Amino acid sequence: MLFFYHSQPMVGVFQESGAPVKLPRHRHGLTREAVRTSQSARIIAATAEAVAEGGYAGTSVAAIVERAGVSRKTFYELFADKEAAFLAAYSAVDTVIARMIDAANEQEEPRAMLGAGVRSFLGTLAEEPAFTHMLVIDALGAGKRVLRRRAEAFREFVRVLAAPIELARARDSSIPAPDETTLLALIGGINELVLQHLVAHEAATLRTLAPAVDILVERVCLPPAT
């Protein structure tokens, strides 16, 4: 699904289990917790959308609440400020990582696991343009707390890549042990490939990067024995 603004906000990777996307106008039997969960998910999605359109610095709380269809009072009941809402939106990266792990675990061979992870990653980014813009571009200018959260996410990506390498090493001792610095550089390189693609193309076409990313990942993670 495309992620930019619709009359009924799309929440994509931000949808919390059991939370209705849009609350009914008539009387309903939803609990206060369910209402708050729905409002929070809509604010988080609206934050990603607004920042993708106007940049982090150029996005106001007023713009977020207008997109989310909630009051300013509701926003501040749920989030301390714009940065808190952005951090909550950025945390959807955990869903991206979980999907990569699930995709990899469906495979048995290390190379297939890495390839499945790559396709899951690019597929999720292709389906969520606003989140992709936030993940790849906007996080860099959103302050120190966001940068720390980004660094944490990159370390998680490193761990996702390290698991198939360890499996491969158990079968072939000539394969080098995973090196955190090298894998971090690999993640940074993939991130740059995505960024350069976004400069010239729509996020929906990101899956076309898969063959190039496959080659890069294999050469770094599973190099041939020398």
Domains along the chain?
12-88 (1.10.10.60), 91-221 (1.10.357.10)
Token code pair at residue 87: 């951090």
Residue with tokens 């698991």: 163
DSSP code for 106: T
Q: Up-side HSE of residue 49: CA atoms within 13 Å toward CB?
A: 25
Distances (CA, A) of 39 to 32, 44, 65, 76, 131: 11, 9, 10, 12, 18
Quote the pLDDT of residue 31: 76
Give residue 18's pLDDT: 43
In the block, residue with structure tokens 């297939």: 112
Beta-strand runs (E) in the chain: none
Residues 39, 31: Cα–Cα separation, whole Å = 12
Per cent of the chain over pLDDT 70 is 85
Question: Residue holding tokens 């990313």?
Answer: 213
Q: What is the mean pLDDT of the chain?
A: 85
In the predicted model, residues of the chain with pLDDT beneath 50 are 1-11, 16-21, 23-24, 26
Cα 164 from Cα 160, distance rounded (Å): 8
Q: What are phi and psi of 60, to 5 degrees?
A: -105, 160
Q: pLDDT at position 141, please?
A: 84
Instruction: Say what the pLDDT of residue 29 is.
Output: 58
What pTM value is reported for the model? 0.79
